[in-house]
Amino acid sequence: MDIKFGTDGVRGVIDSTFNELTVAMVVEAALRHWSRKYGAHRVLIGYDTRRKSKQYAEEAAAIALDYGLDALITDEPTPTPTIAWAIKSMGFDFGFQITASHNPPQYNGIKIITRDGSSAFPEDTNEVEKIIRNEEGDMLRYIKDIPSKSIPTITLKKPYIEYIQSWLEGRVKPSKLRVVVDPMHGAAVGYTAKLLESLGMEVKEIHGTHDANFGGLEPEPEERNLAEMIRAVMEGGFDMGIAHDGDADRLAVAVRGLGFLGANKIIPIMIHRLMGLNMIRRGLGRTVATTHAVDCLATKMGVPLYETPVGIKYISELIIGGKIDIGGEESGGLAYSWHVPEKDGVYSGALFAALIGREASNELGQVINSCGEFHSGRIDVPMQNSKEFINTRREDVIRALSGLGNVRQVITIDGVKVVFNDGSWILTRGSGTEPKLRIYAESNNPERTSELLRQASSAITALKRA
């Protein structure tokens, strides 16, 4: 079988490119690798609200039990960061989460989480892929007749919420806000809303039922999918809104007076506020697709800035290695050295509300005063084998993008990124989670950003036709 790990796990269309056999092979191979290399004994399995997620999780747990490991499964759909927190804090050796995160409803997937609470690193997932290739026949014999077993469950919502509540109350005095929370029918239902209520805030949760179809929308917290939440903030008297994707590792917010804020605004606001509280003493990290406002703030603080490929696992590696205190990616994720080295939308949402709240406009204004304007954008171009396209046409892409301005630097750690002398930049990269080519741009004015995106899209289209 040809199973490949993408940016964050293995994903595919349910009952087509992702099915029971996919889950069984990934789980069996991971059990073999983690047992051989790390002597694993305890494993935790979680799942989100997607179709077949619980079924796949029960399959994974049954295989782990048959392998001889102590395995627990969550008693309800659970956010990915909650699974990461539980693995790290409760002494599990590693775990699996059944999720396709922000992908459309027809997708599902599986990711592996390490004992540190991070996504599995390439050195381990490459070995899992190798075991699948080299031991496929033997594994198929083992997994074809896994007996049905009673699987013990674990409740994580209450201890996870209490942990974050205690952490926040011990360090800050949360603002008394009116907040609307949109978990988008995903795993965060009853999490962020309950947490904020425990902090004394008035909360309304919308789309607060588990729904495998996510109410007919893609469970991605982008402006186009959050009209009801944004309207509640701008017109309904709420101070702010918080939204999450399907597995709650991402977030977006809306703030009265500012409107919608995506990750490229949230990340610098959060860094600036934490900087003022002296909580950042090491470096900062960002993925290659994330706003360069982070670079400016790192310079202001006198700490190193690390740029990584897209994927929170690369940020996690820097946190575990003691190099950074906070890192983020433009898709809506933040990770912290004092929490778990995994993006956590629930924790980040509560931290934003408690630390910043109504002061978001002031914090953003201070970032702009220090670093100037940063206007970011992204467009997605449907494309099969987009990573292969970028890899094989790399030099052509570099030449095409270099014609859009005076070039300062070309970066190829993930796709092709061209940075221009005026500080603006353009990036094209193949998605590791969907059949799309992603084009990102940033500059100090929205017109320049839109023009960069338009010109880059035209250049890529021309290359495809050539």
CATH number for position 412 = 3.30.310.50
Supply the pLDDT for residue 8: 87
CA–CA separation, 180 vs 292, rounded Å? 30
Ramachandran category for residue 185: left, alpha or beta (phi over 0 → left; psi -120 to 50 → alpha): left
Q: Check whether residue 142 and residue 167 sit in a common domain.
A: no
Supply the pLDDT for residue 173: 83
What single-letter DSSP state applies at residue 414?
A: S
Counting every residue, how long is the chain?
A: 466
> For each of the chain's 466 residues, which pLDDT tens digit applies?
889 998 889 999 999 999 999 999 999 999 999 999 999 999 999 999 999 999 999 999 999 999 999 999 999 999 999 999 999 999 999 999 999 999 999 999 999 999 999 999 999 999 999 999 999 999 999 898 888 888 999 999 999 999 999 999 988 888 889 999 999 999 999 999 999 999 999 999 999 999 999 999 999 999 999 999 999 999 988 999 999 999 999 999 999 999 999 999 999 999 999 998 899 999 999 999 999 999 999 999 999 999 999 999 999 999 999 999 999 999 889 999 999 999 999 999 999 999 999 999 999 999 999 999 999 999 999 999 999 999 999 999 999 999 999 999 999 999 999 999 999 999 999 987 788 999 999 999 999 999 999 999 999 999 988 7
In sequence order, what are the residues at sequence separation of 6 or more whose Cβ sits closer than 8 angstroms to the Cβ of residue 326? 270, 271, 274, 280, 284, 285, 334, 335, 336, 337
Residue 42 lies in a domain: yes
CA–CA separation, 243 vs 90, rounded Å? 28
| φ/ψ of residue 134, rounded to 5 | -85, -25
Q: Check whether residue 112 and residue 40 sit in a common domain.
A: yes
Residue 78 lies in a domain: yes
What single-letter DSSP state applies at residue 84?
A: H
Q: Check whether residue 239 and residue 169 sit in a common domain.
A: yes
Supply the pLDDT for residue 432: 77
| φ/ψ of residue 157, rounded to 5 | -60, -50
Contact 108, 50 (CB under 8 A): yes
Strand partners, 378: 440
When divided into structural domains, the chain yields a total of: 3
CA–CA separation, 420 vs 23, rounded Å? 44
Q: Which amino acid, one-letter code, is at 395?
A: E
In sequence order, what are the residues at sequence separation of 6 or more whose Cβ sits closer than 8 angstroms to the Cβ of residue 146? 24, 59, 62, 63, 66
Domain final residue pick, 140, 155, 170? 155
Strand partners, 13: 107
Residue 284 lies in a domain: yes
Supply the pLDDT for residue 172: 86
Q: Check whether residue 397 and residue 439 sit in a common domain.
A: yes
In sequence order, what are the residues at sequence separation of 6 or more whose Cβ sits closer than 8 angstroms to the Cβ of residue 181? 188, 192, 193, 196, 203, 204, 205, 206, 208, 241, 242, 243, 349
Q: On the CB side of 131, how many CA atoms lie within 13 Å of its CA?
A: 23
Q: What is the DSSP string of 434-466?
A: SSEEEEEEEESSHHHHHHHHHHHHHHHHHHHH-
Q: Check whether residue 396 and residue 357 sit in a common domain.
A: no
Q: Check whether residue 412 and residue 345 sit in a common domain.
A: no
Q: Using a CB cutoff of 8 Å and minimum separation of 24, what contacts does 174-177 make?
A: 174/199, 174/200, 174/201, 174/353, 174/354, 175/201, 175/353, 175/354, 175/357, 175/358, 176/200, 176/201, 176/202, 177/201, 177/202, 177/239, 177/240, 177/353, 177/357, 177/358
CA–CA separation, 454 vs 181, rounded Å? 34
The pTM score is 0.95
Q: Residues 334, 336, 339, 343: what is their CA dihedral angle, to the nearest 10 degrees?
A: 20
Domain final residue pick, 314, 347, 371? 371
Domain final residue pick, 125, 155, 185? 155
Burial class, 425, CB count within 10 angstroms (exposed 0-12 / middle 13-18 / buried 19+): buried
> Could you count the other beta carbons within 10 Å of the beta carbon of residue 305?
17
What single-letter DSSP state applies at residue 432?
A: S
Q: Check whether residue 394 and residue 249 sit in a common domain.
A: no
Q: What is the DSSP string of 237-256?
A: S-SEEEEE-TTSS-EEEEET
In sequence order, what are the residues at sequence separation of 6 or more whose Cβ sits closer than 8 angstroms to the Cβ of residue 111? 8, 9, 10, 80, 96, 97, 99, 119, 120
Residue 3 lies in a domain: no
Domain with 190, as residue range(s), is 158-371
**Each residue of 53-83: b (16+ CB within 10 Å) or e?**
bbebbbbbbbbbbbbebebbbbebbbbbbbb
